[in-house]
Every structure is written in C-alpha cells, then in structure tokens.
Amino acid sequence: MLGCGQAKVSSEIVLISYKKDKTSVNTNENGELLVNVSPKDLNKFKNRGWVSYSDFGARGDGQTDDIDNIAAAHAVANQFGLSVKADQGATYYIGGKERTAVIRTNTDFGTAAFIIDDTEVQNRDASIFIVSSELQPIKLETITSLKRNQQKIKLSLPGACLITVTNANVKRYIRFGLNQNNGASQTDIFVADKNGNLDMNAPIIWDFEQVTDITALPIDEKILTITGGRFTTIANKAESKYTYYNRNIAIRRSRVIVKGLEHHVTGEAEHGAPYGGFINTSDCAYVTVMNSMLTGHKTNVTTGAAGNPVSMGTYDLSVNRAINVSFVNCTQTNDINDKTYWGIMESNYSKNLLYDSCTFSRFDAHMGVANATIRNSTLGHMGINAIGSGVLTVENSIINGNSLINLRTDYGSTWQGEVFIRNCVFVPAGGKSISLSLIGGANTSQHDFGYTCYMPDRITIENLLINDSNHPKSYQGPAIFSNFNPEMKDSSYQETFPFVRTREVILRNVTTASGMKLRLSDNLFLFKGVKITTD
C-alpha cells in the first residue's frame, strides 16, 4: 500500500507491506522506499503509540546514512497516527541522497543530533523533512474575480481554508536595482471559513479583475508539534550563483508548533550557493517557531541581473505565502552585528508576521507583507527591512540597523498603512559613526514597480531613545526621513510614477544621546507637506 498519498516525487514515496518477515527498509529501481513491518512489531508500535528511527534500522552512529530509515519511520507513523521519537543521544548522518521524510504526526527529535551533509547533493531542492497535511487542496473554479477588502466569497468549503489566488496577467513587484526583474504575477492569500467568510485580520490586498488560478488548502484542526533536535548543516561548496539549496524542514501544513530546535552551520567556504531557509514555511497558516536557535549564513557574492557584483541573500528562516507566522523566544548562533553573515530571515506574500522576544540579525519583508509586529526583541546589523501594507509595529525593542526602519528601495520603499514605534532604543549601525535617519529608503518616482508606492500614511513614535553619541563631525542630528529622492529639489521635478508621501508624524518623548534635536530630513522640499505633531 502507498504510505504517503500526497507524495509528488519518488523520493517521498514509501510502499509499505505487512508480511511476517522481519521489519526491513529497502529501495526499488525507481528510488521508492520499500518498507516491511512485521505484525509483531506493528502491534508493539500501536500499543505504545510511537515509533523510533532505530525501529527501522537507523544506526545513529554519525557515519551511516540514516535518511531511508528516518523516512520509513515517518511513513509508518503517518499510516497509523503514531508519533515519532528520535533515539536519545543518537547522531543521524544524512548524506546527499534525494530522500524526503514526510512528517504528518507529532515528532520529538529530543536530544538527538542530525548531520546534514550538503557537500555532494543529488537534488538541492529536495527537503530533508516536509511537514504536510493529509487534507487535499481544492481548486475553486467558480471564483473569477475578487475585490480588495472583500469580506465574503460565494461558496461553501469543507472547513477553514487558506486560499491562494493568482492573476498571471498582472505583474507586481517589478524589482529595481542590481537584482532587477520583470515582476511576479499578482498573488494574494487569505483565510476563509466553511461559509466563505474571510478573516479580515488578513484581508485581500489587491483587486483581481481576473483570476487565473485559485486554490483552497484546508486548515488542519489539530496542532502538530515538532520538538527538539540539534541539526548541523555541512555547507555546500557549489559555485556562488542563485542556485538555492533547500535541504531543510519545509512546513507545508497549517497549525504547526516547532520548539526547542537548534540549527548550526559548518564548513562555509569563500564560495558557495545560498540557502532558502532551514525552517521554510510556505502555503500554510498558524505556525509558531519558539525557543529555538538558528544560524546566519556566510554572505557570498555573484553577478546580479544588472551585470554587476551583488551579495546573495541566504537565509535560515523563510516565510512565503503564509498567514499568522510567529517566532517567539528565538535567537541565532552567530553575532547579529557581524556583517560577514547575511540577515537570517526573509518573507514574501505573507500576513501577520511576529517576532516576540527574539535576537536576530534582521526582519525582512520582500514582496509585501501585510501587518507585522516586532516586540521585546533585538535586531542586528540588517535591522528592519519592509515593504507592504497594513500596520507595522515595533515596540520594546533594540534596533541596530542603519535606519530604524528601512523601506526597501528595490521595491519602491512602499508601506501602505501605518507605523507604530513604541518604547524602543535605536543604535545606528550598531554604534558606528554615521549620519542617520529613522525611516530609510529611496524612490525616484521614475520606475514602474507594478503598483502605486506609498510611504506610511502616519508614523507614531513614542518613547524612543536614539543612541547617537558616536557620530561624524558633520552630523546635524538625526533625521526622521532619509533623502528619498535627492534629484527632487523643487517643483520643476516631474514624477512619472508619483510617490505618495507621509501625511503625519506623531512624536512623543523622542530623545538622543547626542543631545541634538530630531530633524525632518536633508530634503525639506520633498517632505514639506508632512504634518509633525508633538505632545
């Protein structure tokens, strides 16, 4: 019988039999796993409610490749709703073979160690673990258009669903700069209940005059928990190109908690391909990663789309097309202010992201996040990078970036909504000597990003200490806004794609270590219409 019904590739397929022979794990000519479970062992597993990797022949000696045995254990556990427990104190070696273990039940990695060797990999896109649902996706053929902030869709669903929708005929996020591109198909995600009512805490952000693809992913009612584990990746030695490695834990199921996990990286060289996130969360909702430790990856350089050298983004955390994803009480193994390591996290097409009590090198929203909160956290040299919409809240945190918030220039420095900054300390460039601004970004108003670009409509800053005691001689004090467009000096400048500026900034108890006052900007003309309110 088929042990993982949703599997799409042979590396995930497990064929399980229940003959009287001893429990064994083999492969066939197609690379599929053949697992036999003896009736005696099966009864033992069912009676105790869990299986271990050693039950299926895993050595755990740190040298023998155990991935087939690990995948087999999960396949059998999935069949019977059993949990999985790693053998305490074991060290599982995972070589470059293309094999993915499918997790559909609670898994306790415990104190076990996992060595993931990426020096010789058959398929860099094959995850080590994929956390998936037994619930099947549903194509929604009757939905042909959608409206921004629409509250209901006219259909019935089997239960709450995460819905992803695309209009391939409209391009958004037409990137500018060294990694320029022609944009991506208009994409959105939202949650609907069984009656088609939408969760307005994560609303539709685009008008869809046409829908070219729309899929509902049913949301599991029960929480799946993954606990513990000390993972070490031996880094690849590939050419420094945008050939991302995804030898990771891929979360593709809603309602998942990951806690107590560690991920370390060794063997990074002067060249290497980037990583797409060891914890890679996509096409799901309600995911929490807590009490865990991750690792920033070494920054390598390649040639960008514009033909010039560019540093490659490489990540240990990735969030794409996901809603309500939280990182709680997490940290990283390396110095958050060490610029030889890239920022640890990236996200696209996601809503309601949270950092709470985290110490990370950066928070990042690439292609538009709707609503994000950073609280009780410390962010390192790459700080907060964001474009998107809704409410961006930063509170009770220490920020070490060049700006308090950097609105990414490659996507037009757009945030269509509000920003709240409360009870924070801003340490510009981690204490280095720079002239600084609170809100950084740039937009010449000459590039079509595929949307109107907005600065935050209103920015509220209260109880902020700017630690600018170390500053250059030319320093005139911190600016609220950087000079977003140095060419726009007077009304003669023509904006081809007008950039909508901030309407109001509210300041309450903003202080500086230097004693110098907060200024509006180096470009007073550009921000002449901004209302500054102080209490």
- pLDDT digit string, tens, across residues 493-510: 999 999 999 999 999 999
pLDDT tier, 5 (very low <50, low <70, confident <90, very high otherwise): very low
Element holding 346 (H helix, E strand): strand 345-348
User: Both tokens of residue 133?
Assistant: 């649902």
Residues paired with 298 in a beta bridge: 341
Q: Is the pLDDT of residue 4 over 60?
A: no
Residue 9 pLDDT: 62
156, burial (CB in 10 Å: exposed 0-12, middle 13-18, buried 19+): exposed
- pLDDT digit string, tens, across residues 56-106: 999 999 999 999 999 999 999 999 999 999 999 999 999 999 999 999 999
- Judged by DSSP in three states, 224 sits in strand
Q: Are 497 and 453 in contact (CB under 8 A)?
A: yes
DSSP string, 371-394: EEEEES-EEEEEEEEE-EEEEEEE
Give me the mean pLDDT over the 256-268 stretch: 98
- Domain boundaries defined on the chain: 10-117, 138-218, 220-364, 389-464+489-535
Percent of the chain scored above 90 by pLDDT? 92
Write phi, then psi, for 49 (nearest 5 degrees): 85, 5
Cα angle, residue 383 at apex, residues 350 and 185 outer, rounded to 5°: 30
Residue 7 pLDDT: 39
In one letter, which amino acid is 5? G
